[in-house]
Amino acid sequence: MKKITLLGAGSGFTQPLFTDILNIEGLDEGVIGLVDIDEARLAVNVKLMRRVLDLMGKSKWRIDASSDRRKVLPGTDYLISTIEVSGVACVRFDNDIPMKYGIDQCIGDTIGPGGVMKALRTLPPFLGILADAKRLCPGALILNYTNPMSIMTLGAVSFTDQPFVGLCHSVQGNSREIAGILGVPYDELDWQCGGINHMAWFTKLGWKGVDMLPQLRAAAENPAVIEDFPIRTDLIRNLGFFSTESCGHFSEYVPYYRKRKDLLKLHCRPGYKGGTSFYADHWPTWRKDLDKRRQEMADGKRPIPLARGHEYASDIIEAHVFDRKKVVYASVRNTGLIPNLPQTGVVEVATLVDRRGFMPTFFGNLPEQCAALCRSNMAVFDLCAKGILGRDREAVIHAMMMDPLSAAVCSLTEIRAMAEELFAAERRFIPDWCAKPKKPATVVAGSLMSAFVRSPAVSRILPHRNLAEVSYPSGSELKLRKRSFQESFMNMHDELGKAGSALVYFSCRIKCSGKMELEARLGYDGPVKMWVDGREVFHDPKGTNPAGTDKAKIPFKVSKGTHEILVALDSNGGNAWGIRLRFLRINMKPGSKAKGIKTSQLPVIVGERRDQGVAAVSSMSARNVETRKSRGRKR
């Protein structure tokens, strides 16, 4: 009797996956293991699966369900993962923060900033699952459906020696689309496909001994086909080959289609064809709709589809149990399977399955133009997986920097700032080693830059006013309240994102030991105005995203003593979230610099929670890395 356990069993995958498995000829008895930490969603699917067993006459099957995987894993022969970690809580962060920096995502869960953040939330707990599997069901074959597929697979095969494959729908789905374009029966179409998940390439197509690639290239000139497949037809026209996955997914893997509005309009279409923020805007609603349908099926108010579908999980189990040879396309370690892709990475190739397990097949070299695109993405996967396995925060940031789309839009400094914003926004859902920045590098003697302001006094959210008409308000009028921000970006996203059109004020004080000429280095993502001791020194009525470090350099002079800096930020309709602020000593006499800069010669930010010292121009100010207190501190 075989036991098949599904992790993330409260999802919409459960019923179709097990319906496929229950349709396997000869598999008349077994155990369905269902695990989900959401007990309410799990209970719905337990009820639903009992109805499925009754309707299919599978009385010899039983269900073993729990929110504690350790109670279900023992005896498992096949372990299937469809887990989702904090997706609902983070999908807007994954989409909206990169959008501030001009990075337009359609899906954002397998590559790019969104994919890296999903890996940070998902791979660490998945490694815990793999450790439990090694102890409790060491003989199990492990099948993963959870994205980001390539990073999850690379992390898993680097961590465990249990048989493991990553499974997707793209090859079987897109081969059917190609058959439709060519007008040939799907079962008669022959093909060779290989690459990486969501970027595998159909390098051979045949039908009854005829090479069909020329026909597919010709079809790519058909306006109707172009409208259905706007990006993949552009690929085959320019690179010679058709790729897997939806146009929306693929558009995020390359630097060509999403970096300018005119390119988005030309190559992308609504929905999965490349719509801006498509997944973030619609997935939470889909999830609720699927939950409603599952409840209706469980209650007998909606028919349950009982026919076998096209998921690979049932094919793998059938092949392994009954030695009925099957071929599936799976993400596996590249053990020379595609020689011109990195051998340390993960590739998607045809994989033979029988009673012996998984046997990935040799593909050969990809066309070099296709391989080059794959390699650029594999660098992201490698850095991200290594960063998570090695708890290396910098490697994770470097993974974002290597992302082709992000690099097409942003500078390295902007990508680092974006990463810090993402880490701060999702700090409750990612590991502490990544949520907490490293301690700053040793101060370089002679540096003239202060640290960032992070403990300002902040006003409440105020009604919107045109900043051009706003004069200096006193602190007593504003009723300022001390706040502590853990990053250099003083992020008011939670308040301003909900407020719509509004104003907020940030105030700090600097103490100077004598007369000084200073430069305020101000980063901001909306219209802004700044005063020093009540005197207006700066106004940008057209301020907008991104809130780059040192966006404005504002010179001013001060005497010995303590001085107030006040900054007003217009929320720009809810699109502006905060500021960065630090100070540079300028126009010092050459002789003073030659003798070395002392802390007393620089402005001191009054009231910071810790002595931040002087930021190093050559390290910390370039890297924008700072310390931060425990996440448990109350604000």
Cα-Cα-Cα-Cα torsion 431, 432, 433, 434, nearest 10 degrees, comes to 60
Q: Which residues, 6+ apart, have CB-to-CB distance to 230 below 8 Å?
A: 247, 267, 268, 269, 273, 274
| In-domain check, residue 24 | yes
- At residue 599 the predicted structure's pLDDT band, cuts being 50, 70 and 90, is confident
Domain for residue 252, yes or no? yes
User: Residues 243-297: pLDDT tens digits?
Assistant: 998 899 999 999 999 999 999 999 999 998 999 999 999 999 999 999 999 999 9
Quote the pLDDT of residue 590. 67
Residues 391 and 317 in one domain: no
Tokens matching residue 270:
């609504």
pLDDT digits (tens, 9 = 90+) for 539-559: 999 988 888 888 999 999 999
- Residue 623 above 50 pLDDT? no
Q: How far apart are CA 399 and CA 150, in angstroms?
A: 13
Residue 443 lies in a domain: no
Please say if the pLDDT value at position 615 is more than 50.
no
Do residues 392 and 531 both lie within one domain? no
Q: Which amino acid is present at 515?
A: K
Which one from 78, 101, 145, 253 is the annotated catalytic residue? Answer: 253
Counts for the chain of helices (H) and strands (E), in that order? 23, 27
Do 160 and 178 sit in the same domain of this protein? no
Give the range among 41-50, 241-250, 624-633 with minimum mean pLDDT: 624-633
Query: For tokens 């396309």, what's the residue?
Result: 329
Together in a domain, 271 and 373: no
Instruction: Confirm whether 356 is domain-assigned.
Output: no
Shared-domain flag, residues 514 and 579: yes
Residue 39 per-residue DSSP state: H
Task: Indicate whether 176 and 248 sit together in one domain.
Answer: yes
pLDDT confidence of residue 633: 37
| Residue 253 designated active-site | yes
Residues 176 and 157 placed together within one structural domain of the fold: no
Residue 632 lies in a domain: no
**Region 388-395 average pLDDT:** 96
CATH of the domain at 492: 2.60.120.260
32/120 same-domain check: yes
422 domain residue, yes or no: yes
Instruction: Tell me which of 280, 310, 330 is where a domain ends.
Output: 280
Over residues 92-117, mean pLDDT: 96
Per-residue confidence (pLDDT) for residue 630, from 0 to 100: 34
pLDDT at res. 175:
96
Q: What is the pLDDT of residues 332-360, one digit of tens each?
A: 999 999 999 999 999 999 999 999 999 99
166 and 292 share a domain?
A: yes
Decide if 39 contacts 7 (C-beta within 8 A). no
Least confident piece of the model among 107-111, 135-139, 473-477: 473-477
Q: Is the pLDDT of residue 2 over 90?
A: yes
Q: Are residues 404 and 456 in the same domain?
A: no
Per-residue pLDDT at 434 = 95
Asked whether residue 407 carries a pLDDT value surpassing 70, the answer given is yes
Would residue 169 show up in a list of annotated catalytic residues for this protein? yes
Q: Looking at the predicted structure, is the pLDDT value of residue 444 above 50?
A: no
Among 247, 264, 280, residue at a domain's last position: 280
Do residues 196 and 155 share a domain? no
Q: Tell me what pLDDT residue 548 has.
A: 81
Q: Which helix (H) or strand (E) holds 238?
A: helix 230-239
Among the listed ranges 130-134, 176-180, 327-331, 624-628, which one has the minimum average pLDDT value? Answer: 624-628
Domain that holds residue 403: 368-430
Q: Is 228 a domain residue? A: yes
Total number of domains in the chain: 4
461 and 550 co-located in one domain: yes
Given 399, 430, 461, which residue is the final one in a domain?
Answer: 430
pLDDT band for position 622 (cuts 50, 70, 90)? very low
Q: Taking the chain, what is the end-to-end CA distance rounded to the nearest angstrom?
A: 55
pTM comes to 0.71
Whole-angstrom distance, CA of residue 97 vs CA of residue 414? 12
Tell whether 271 is covered by a domain: yes
Q: Which pLDDT does position 442 carry in this prediction?
A: 40
Q: What is the average pLDDT value for the chain, to the nearest integer?
A: 91
CATH assignment at residue 127: 3.90.1820.10
